[in-house]
Structure 1
Amino acid sequence: MRDNEVLGQLVRFGIAGGITTALYTIVYSPLAAHRITSEQVANLIGYLVAMASGYVIHSRWSFRGHGADARQTTIRFFLVSLVSYALNSLWVWVLTGDAMLAGPWWWPLLPVLFVTPLIIFALNRLWVFA
């Protein structure tokens, strides 16, 4: 039973995370690709959009009925979202920064899509909505 609960949350988190990651990508990509702003500023703007939508989707759907009260989860969600922002900023800095790999604007999207979500799921499951 417990395994099914975790699997269900993982599937819902994947869908919700896909939506919020798509929103991040929709915001980040044109800003960075067309050099409207730096990759880091595009990352910050994408993060803000994803964080706001992510809280609503995850608290009401992904982890609904899974524990802590709303005030506690709001604070914890915000702290975990800062971890997400820090990770994504790291990917942007390492992969596109002139002092690092100096790759194209889209390189950070790979770890943003495949690494950050796994870490954030674990933090949300074990701490935010526990």
Structure 2
Amino acid sequence: MSRQIPGLRWRQAQRFFVSGVLVTGLHVLVAASVIRFLWPNPAYANGIAFVTATVASYLINTRWSFSSSFRSRSFYRFCMVALAGCLLAMGVSGLADAYGWSYWIGIAAVVMVVPPVTFVLHSRWTYR
């Protein structure tokens, strides 16, 4: 097991957070643009936006957050973690809905649960 440089994991987490905010903005921009200018179907527009945001997230996080190089193995793992994050988000929000809570509580729970889980998965699996 390699020794961790003090503060490195915290720095990665900060960069992961910043890239997440940027990529979320990209997702919104792409989805809104597709709906407005190309195809007025929100489901398909968000699908296109999700794929675009996932690729951008891989590029940013690989080079900036985790200081790694592009490899097919890490891209595959990144996509698997993104899919797991999507399923986790659906599960968390579905659980909140099952308890009859406001969808805002579900969104807050997703924001509090999914990014830390995906960060840990990326740092311990995707980029190892």
Return the TM-score normalized by structure 2: 0.69
Q: CA deviation at 1:9?
A: 0.8
**What percent identity do the matched residue pairs reach?**
22
5+ unaligned residues in a row in structure 2: which ranges? 32-40
* Aligned match of 1:101: 99
Deviations 1:80-99 (A, max 9, x none): 11110110111232234xxx
- The answer to whether the Cα contact below 8 Å between 2:12 and 2:66 also exists between their aligned partners in 1 is yes
Which structure carries more helix by proportion? 2
5+ unaligned residues in a row in structure 1: which ranges? 28-35
Flag the structure with more relative contact order, 1 or 2, with Cα contacts below 8 A and sequence separation at least 6.
1
* Aligned match of 2:78: 77
- The answer to whether the Cα contact below 8 Å between 2:96 and 2:105 also exists between their aligned partners in 1 is yes
Q: Does 2:84 align with 1:86?
A: no
Residue correspondences, number: 115
Deviations 1:54-110 (A, max 9, x none): 212211211123xx76111011101111110110111232234xxx23544433321
* Aligned match of 1:18: 21
State the alpha-carbon separation in 1 of the partners of residues 5 and 58 from structure 2: 24
State the alpha-carbon separation in 2 of the partners of residues 126 and 80 from structure 1: 11
Distance 1:109 1:19, change over 3 A: farther
- The answer to whether the Cα contact below 8 Å between 1:47 and 1:85 also exists between their aligned partners in 2 is no
Give the number of the structure whose alpha-carbon radius of gyration is greater.
2
Return the TM-score normalized by structure 1: 0.68
Distance 1:5 1:85, change over 3 A: same
Matched residue SS, 1:106? helix
Distance 1:85 1:10, change over 3 A: same
State the alpha-carbon separation in 1 of the partners of residues 60 and 16 from structure 2: 9
